[in-house]
Chain A
Amino acid sequence: MFKLLKEKLSKTVSKISETIKKDVETSPEETKEKEDIKKGGIGTAGSDVLKKVKEKVTHKKLSEDKFDKLFQELEITLLENNVAFEVIEKIKDDLKQEILNQPLKRSQISKQIKETLENSIKDLFQEPENLIEKIKHKTEPFVIVFFGVNGVGKTSTIAKFVKLLQKNNLTSILAAADTFRAASQEQIEEWANKLEVPLVKGQYGSDPASVCFDAIQKAKSKNTNVVLIDTAGRMHSNTDLMDELRKIIKVSQPDEKIFVGESITGNDCIDQARLFNEAVDFNSMILTKTDIDEKGGAAISVSYITQKPIIYLTSGQLLDDIVKFDKEKITKTLFG
């Protein structure tokens, strides 16, 4: 992830600064001033004038029009890398504020643009908390609910997370609260068997909240560290199903509510993350399928929209394919 965006970004930034440089050199206003000085000769005030001219040539203010034109290139780069339209507008505003009406040092144009952009994007990512530590600090079972749109990879993500917990010597129990989709129960059962963790199943068509309740009771009686609740995929725009999710959350009183999203989602990731966040005010996000997407735009978009941290990235179908999301590292990879 982010490899492509990185390449494109650095290309675009250097292209933009080149354009600005060229622009500075050919500005008729300055050439005229230069000539004026030649004609006027150098008197006592000469050194002052010279200084001013020097500043004029090396410092250049950008007009709004020109900025918009220059930004177009960057806009396309961001669009190609799957950053949502709305978020690009926000980045544009940030850059504009910083760069417009502020003299740019010619030698540092490229650096300045890069820095502003870097800050702009870094600001979008929230600092993730250490979930494993948080779990270790709780004596009662720690309850986590996973939710998201259909087919994003909730169940596989849960399996991967259980493996991670096992590596940290934490015990878990699974709640198969997807009582809707065909074979969802069998799917999570296969993972439970493979990972050798207990599973509380539900009847197809039954109330998912009751499955959660049972699992939590069982965890309490057996002193299990973590309860992981797998919910049915649901469209963020379906109010009935969002109500159902609210009920699951009301019954299970989770310590962590995790939104699972795909890194390959386009502009719709904004609506998905926003509506889930509005419905249940989640704590954090996990992005899946990062093996498919090399672009990384969705990570930028959902972070901006929800102001919530991404805690893990997952890829592939193997249990170990889960990595911590590192804000610093990713911004660094992006800007080198």
Chain B
Amino acid sequence: MLEKLSTSLKGTLSKVAKSIFLDKNLIEELVKELQRSLLASDVNVSLVFELSEKIKTRALKEKPPKTVSPKEHIIKIVYEELVNLFGKKSYELKIEKKKPFKIMFVGLYGSGKTTSISKLANYYTKKNYKVATLGLDIHRPAAPEQLKQLSDQINIPSFISKEKDSIKIYKEFEKEFSQYDILLIDTAGRDALSDDLIKELSSLNKKIKPDETLLVMSADIGQTALEQAKKFHETCNVTGVIATKMDGTAKGGGALTGAAATKAPIKFIGTGEKINDLETFDPTGFVSRLLGMGDLKTLLEKVEDAMSEEEAKDLGKKFLKGDFNLLDLYEQMEAMSKMGPISKVTELIPGFSQLKLPKDVLQVQEGKLKKWKFILDSLTQEELENPEIITSSRIQRIASGSGTTTREIRELLKQYKQSKKVMKLMKGKEPNMEKLMKKFKGKLPKGFT
């Protein structure tokens, strides 16, 4: 369904881009397509109509600057207004120098508060902050144990108690908090419209006086997002939103609605069950995802994180020179695996989502990559640097050494040769994308050239 919608939105956008004149009808068509896409992505209904009205008025009224064509202008308006929804505040979470900097997490049950806390704890521990967690979810069975197990995994302390009064637990440990740079506080999840939760949260809020209060919202939440977010905001002044479960098929329109309702920006997004599955928020990327279009910026950020700059430069040089051996393929794979599953990485590359690679193909590819890593681990340094010397008797040895079959090793070598050819094509001059894609046996997505 969404695919259909985003295709028709893309169609309209390209119609706009191709047209010489922008008439009222075309603008109206565009606004309508936009409405449909956003509604199917769970953005709040009145928010959608408000937004589309704004776009329409601006598009009809505003005259584009002389250097900008009318169609470029309207695409810019659409983009600007969408990004405006996220609020213009900073999306970064600034940790102030005080001990401790307190971040409280609130949200409905099952939205992923405890998992998000462990991800953030990991994120800031890696940045050399001294982090601790505090479990104040006294209602859900085994919630404190979950927080403790997750904190243990990354070797940070967690304050939990069997006590059934959250204020008492806070007081119990209060003296110890000043040893830490950041304290992440888990609270009970419940319906924000229930009176007892509101009571508990507002008294906690008064006692703790958190420096940041993050509202955790699942990407798949529907139209109920607005009232829930509003109520949480009234109770404990939300300063930021975390959109979780963004690795599924949900588009996060509900989380966006939450951000618009609380006037608090989305600060992080959760993209999986593992501790590293956390991304900082990027509004343009989010809009792209909402509308089903790829985003290069987030991908670049991921590559940067995974590969140190020097490594990247080195590899880049080799790419261009065309000497590319198995060692480089290995490094490349390592870097890729640091970036997360291939399926996720390719999703972020503009154009790739349009190639419509089936998900299982990507996952099969992932399984293959793991095996290839075993194979590469079984090679000698000489073989890695100069793969041409690998004969069939060597292949036999490698197969038994890595627990794979000779067929798989030959496949890897074939892949290496292909990659090398591609690298040669890219050598020196501007890469010829068309030729390159033919090498990959893929089709160029429309509008890619």
Q: List residues of chain A with CB under 8 Å of any chain B CB.
A: 76, 79-82, 84-86, 149-153, 155, 180-184, 186-191, 235-240, 262, 264-272, 289, 291-295, 297-298, 316-317
Closest to A317 in B: B139
| C-alpha gap A76/B44 in the complex (Å) | 11
Q: Are A262 and B110 closer than 8 Å at their CB atoms? A: yes
Q: Are B42 and A268 closer than 8 Å at their CB atoms? A: yes
| C-alpha gap A315/B251 in the complex (Å) | 25
Chain A residues with Cβ below 8 Å from B112 are 150-151
Q: Are B146 and A187 closer than 8 Å at their CB atoms? A: yes
Chain A binder among B6-14, B164-172, B218-226, B258-266: B218-226
Chain A binder among B21-29, B190-198, B403-411, B430-438: B190-198
Chain A residues with Cβ below 8 Å from B111 are 151
Q: Which of A152, A268, A316: most chain B Cβ within 10 A?
A: A268
| C-alpha gap A183/B147 in the complex (Å) | 8
| C-alpha gap A213/B356 in the complex (Å) | 39
Chain B residues with Cβ below 8 Å from A180 are 273
Q: Are A183 and B359 closer than 8 Å at their CB atoms? A: no
Residue from B1, B42, B108, B363 within 8 A of A266 (CB atoms): B42
| C-alpha gap A269/B359 in the complex (Å) | 19
Closest to B37 in A: A85
Residue from A239, A267, A292 within 8 A of B193 (CB atoms): A292
Q: Are A80 and B223 closer than 8 Å at their CB atoms? A: yes
Q: How far is the CB of A317 from chain B (nearest CB, A)?
A: 6
Chain B residues with Cβ below 8 Å from A150 are 110, 112, 245, 273
Q: Are B145 and A295 closer than 8 Å at their CB atoms? A: no
Given contacts A188-B141, A266-B220, 19 further A-B contacts (CB under 8 A): A80-B223, A82-B222, A85-B5, A151-B111, A152-B110, A182-B118, A182-B146, A186-B141, A186-B142, A190-B142, A264-B222, A266-B223, A268-B219, A268-B251, A269-B220, A291-B191, A295-B223, A297-B222, A298-B222
Chain B residues with Cβ below 8 Å from A187 are 140-143, 145-146
B122 within 8 A of A: no
Q: Are B220 and A272 closer than 8 Å at their CB atoms? A: yes
Q: Are A266 and B36 closer than 8 Å at their CB atoms? A: no
B183 within 8 A of A: no
| C-alpha gap A180/B275 in the complex (Å) | 13
B312 within 8 A of A: no
| C-alpha gap A155/B253 in the complex (Å) | 27
| C-alpha gap A191/B142 in the complex (Å) | 10
Chain B residues with Cβ below 8 Å from A149 are 220, 245, 248
B419 within 8 A of A: no
| C-alpha gap A317/B138 in the complex (Å) | 12
Residue from A155, A182, A266, A316 within 8 A of B222 (CB atoms): A266
Q: Are A270 and B1 closer than 8 Å at their CB atoms? A: yes
Q: Are A292 and B249 closer than 8 Å at their CB atoms? A: no
Residue from A181, A191, A272 within 8 A of B146 (CB atoms): A181
Interface size in chain B (residues, C-beta < 8 A)? 54
Q: Are B191 and A289 closer than 8 Å at their CB atoms? A: yes
Closest to A192 in B: B141
Closest to B46 in A: A80
Could you pull out 13 A-B pairs where Cβ atoms are within 8 angstroms? A150-B273, A151-B218, A151-B245, A153-B109, A186-B141, A187-B146, A239-B363, A265-B222, A266-B221, A267-B42, A289-B109, A289-B191, A292-B193
Chain B residues with Cβ below 8 Å from A188 are 141
Closest to A153 in B: B110
Residue from A235, A236, A264, A297 within 8 A of B221 (CB atoms): A264
Chain A residues with Cβ below 8 Å from B247 are 235, 237-238
Closest to A241 in B: B273
3 tightest A-B CB contacts, nearest first: A266-B222, A151-B110, A183-B146
Q: A152-B110, A264-B108 are in contact. Are A292 and B245 (CB under 8 A)?
A: no
B125 within 8 A of A: no
Q: Which of B140, B142, B224, B363: most chain A Cβ within 10 A?
A: B224
| C-alpha gap A174/B143 in the complex (Å) | 19
Chain A residues with Cβ below 8 Å from B191 are 289, 291-292, 316
Q: Are A266 and B142 closer than 8 Å at their CB atoms? A: no
B184 within 8 A of A: no
| C-alpha gap A55/B428 in the complex (Å) | 82
Q: Which of B141, B222, B248, B273: most chain A Cβ within 10 A?
A: B222
B228 within 8 A of A: yes
Residue from B149, B220, B363 within 8 A of A240 (CB atoms): B363
Chain A residues with Cβ below 8 Å from B41 are 267
| C-alpha gap A138/B227 in the complex (Å) | 45
B39 within 8 A of A: yes
| C-alpha gap A153/B147 in the complex (Å) | 18
Chain B residues with Cβ below 8 Å from A182 are 114, 118, 145-146, 149-150, 153
Chain B residues with Cβ below 8 Å from A86 are 1
Q: Are A190 and B149 closer than 8 Å at their CB atoms? A: no
Q: Are B45 and A79 closer than 8 Å at their CB atoms? A: yes
B329 within 8 A of A: no
Q: Are A265 and B220 closer than 8 Å at their CB atoms? A: yes
Q: Which of B45, B228, B251: most chain A Cβ within 10 A?
A: B45
B1-60 contacts to A, CB under 8 A, are: 1-2, 5, 36, 39-42, 45
| C-alpha gap A92/B147 in the complex (Å) | 47
Q: Are A236 and B248 closer than 8 Å at their CB atoms? A: yes
B82-128 contacts to A, CB under 8 A, are: 108-112, 114, 118
Chain A residues with Cβ below 8 Å from B5 are 85
| C-alpha gap A293/B191 in the complex (Å) | 9
| C-alpha gap A184/B141 in the complex (Å) | 9
Q: Are B224 and A292 closer than 8 Å at their CB atoms? A: yes
| C-alpha gap A276/B2 in the complex (Å) | 18
Q: Are A85 and B220 closer than 8 Å at their CB atoms? A: no
